[in-house]
Amino acid sequence: MTDSNPPAVARRTPRAEVRRRLREAAAQEFAERGYDESRLEDIAARAGFTKGAVYSNFKSKQELFGSVLADRADIELSAVTDHLAAVDDVKEAVADAARLVAGEITGDTQRGQLGFEFASRARRDEQVRDVLAPLRRSQRQAAAELLAAVAERLGGDTAVEPELAGLIVHCLSNGLSMEHAVDPEGVDGATVEAAIAATLTALLPADRTGGNR
């Protein structure tokens, strides 16, 4: 007697899940081996796929690296945005943002390492620059929009044009990340938080509701 039931069809992993697993594996591989020594086949194997899965989701090693950085940055921005969504007091806004960003800088040094390596390569590798430049622009723009939105909710404007304010905060975050990586004791979490708070205090409008008096 034969079994008339057809064989079960293997479930195809959703593309979003494939990309997520590849990014996670790539972040670990890049952090452990560095960009140059990391191989796509090792990243794919670590994620549980073949090398073909990488090329069907990312055009190049550079694009995968950029996607890893973008993913980390999106997580950080989302956390800050969510916490500031209902803030209507300058001191509270500054304290929350400074604490969150400082926590990301000191708690996720891997992201800082990856960012430094990619940025240094961008100077001499056009493919890396083509991936990194748009990513950095979008990060600066996101920072500018967030600062402008917070300033408007507080009843005023940023001290300088939002785009410049976004650039200042973006560069400050990158610089503090580098300094903390080099000298974690001299530039510890409290120092990072204080530097961010001082900058945001200067950029955001004074509280008009009386909460900052």
Residue 161's pLDDT band, with cuts at 50, 70 and 90, is very high
Residue 171's pLDDT band, with cuts at 50, 70 and 90, is very high
Residue 211's pLDDT band, with cuts at 50, 70 and 90, is very low
Reduce the DSSP state of residue 111 to 3 states and report it.
Answer: helix
Give ranges for CATH 1.10.10.60 in the chain.
Answer: 13-58
The 10s digit of each residue's pLDDT in 39-97 is: 999 999 999 999 999 999 999 999 999 999 888 888 888 878 887 776 677 788 789 88
What is the Cα–Cα distance from 190 to 200, expressed in whole angstroms?
A: 15
Q: How many C-beta neighbours within 10 Å does residue 102 have?
A: 23
Is the domain defined by 60-203 classed in CATH 3.40.50.300?
no
The 10s digit of each residue's pLDDT in 130-159 is: 999 999 999 999 999 999 998 998 889 999
Flag whether pLDDT at 5 surpasses 70. no
- What's the pLDDT score for residue 162? 97
Residue 3's pLDDT band, with cuts at 50, 70 and 90, is low
> What is the topology classification, in CATH, of domain 13-58?
Arc Repressor Mutant, subunit A (1.10.10)
- What's the pLDDT score for residue 90? 76
What is the Cα–Cα distance from 197 to 116, expressed in whole angstroms?
A: 24
- What's the pLDDT score for residue 34? 85
Q: Six-digit token pair at 144?
A: 């500018």
Reduce the DSSP state of residue 150 to 3 states and report it.
Answer: helix
- What's the pLDDT score for residue 179? 92
Average pLDDT of the chain? 87
Of 11 and 203, the structure prediction assigns the larger pLDDT to 203
What is the Cα–Cα distance from 193 to 100, expressed in whole angstroms?
A: 8
Predicted model pTM: 0.80
Question: Residues, the chain, total?
Answer: 213
Of 95 and 7, the structure prediction assigns the larger pLDDT to 95
